[in-house]
Structures are given as structure tokens and as C-alpha cells.
Amino acid sequence: MSSSYFPEFVKANSSAKLLFSMINRKPVTGDSSVGDKSNIHGTISFDKVQFTYPQKQNQPVMTNLSFKALPGQTVALVGPSGTGKSTIISLVERFYDVCGGNLKIDGKDIKSFSLGHLRTQMALVGQEPRLFGFGSIKDNICFGLTENVSDEKIQQALTLANAQ
């Protein structure tokens, strides 16, 4: 009877090995605690940036991209699907490192910053809004707040966000 479980055991063992190899991987973007931890003011500059995804080395995604975004400036990344808009954000958040050229924040190479600190200095609002899988919309809006929020304050926030 126990021999009937052997194929499942082999599958589970292979899956566990794969899972642990993924858990033990070191990020290619480096140690998150080492590096510059100065406050970021927000100047982002791409200077002749080149990028290719690691799994598609023969298909460059970006070649010689150059632009500068200043603090407080509104920048729109527009274009059809697959033109690199999300890739630009992934590079700024250092999910990937550039393959060529320079990506700087406040005049410093982005790689000089502590990865953990860099990510505490920015926020990303994704393309698709997501609600947590519990409670009402009000509960989702107030998630993480320690004080009670009046319905009037929630309405003001919704108005400011054009989310009515």
C-alpha cells in the first residue's frame, strides 16, 4: 500500500528541491542593506540606457533611452503594449539593472543606493487597481490606518483621487 505513494513522494521531493533552490537564490541586484542611504529628492535621469531581459539576451528591449524627470514634474509614459513603459519603472525600482548607459537618481548611479532604502523612498501605483480580499471598499481605503476615519474624510480622499 505504501508503494502506491512513491510516485507522489518523488514529485514532492523534486518540488521541494526546486522551492528551496529559489528561496536560497541571491538577488542579482545585490545586497539590499549595503549602500547610500541618503534621502532622495527625485531627479531621475536615463542617459543612453540599454536593457535586455536576462531570459531573452538576443532581444534588446531598450537601446539608447535618454530622458530626465525632475522632482514635482509630471511625466507620462505612453505607448502601445510592449514598448517598455513597465520596464522603465522596473529599472527605477531596481527589479533589474541596466545593461548599458547610466540610470541616475539625484545625480548618483542608482546602484550606489542601498536597495532596501531606495525602495522605501518611492511608491508605485500599478496599472490595475487591486482591492484586498476582505471587507468593504471603505475597509480597503482605511487599511493600515490606526485612527478611525470619518465618512467625510473618506469622501474627500475619493474626490481627490477621482475615484467616485
pLDDT by residue, tens only, the chain of 164 residues: 566 777 887 888 888 888 887 777 666 666 656 677 788 898 999 999 999 998 888 999 999 999 999 998 988 888 888 888 999 999 999 999 999 999 999 999 999 998 888 888 887 777 676 777 778 888 888 887 888 889 998 898 888 877 76
Residues 59 and 105 in one domain: yes
Residues 97 and 79 in one domain: yes
- Structural domain boundaries enclosing 76: 44-120
pLDDT of residue 75: 87
Residues 82 and 144 in one domain: no
Q: Residue 50: which CATH number? A: 3.40.50.300
Could you tell me how far CA 99 lies from the centroid of its own chain? 18
Q: Are 98 and 29 in contact, with CB atoms under 8 Å apart?
A: no
Burial 38-77 (b: 16+ CB within 10 A, else e): eebeeebbbeebebbeeeeeeeebbeebeeeeeeeeeeee
Residues 75 and 134 in one domain: no
Residues 51 and 107 in one domain: yes
Could you tell me how far CA 129 lies from the centroid of its own chain? 15
Q: Give domain status of residue 60, yes or no.
A: yes
Residues 116 and 133 in one domain: no
Residues 58 and 115 in one domain: yes
Residues 58 and 80 in one domain: yes
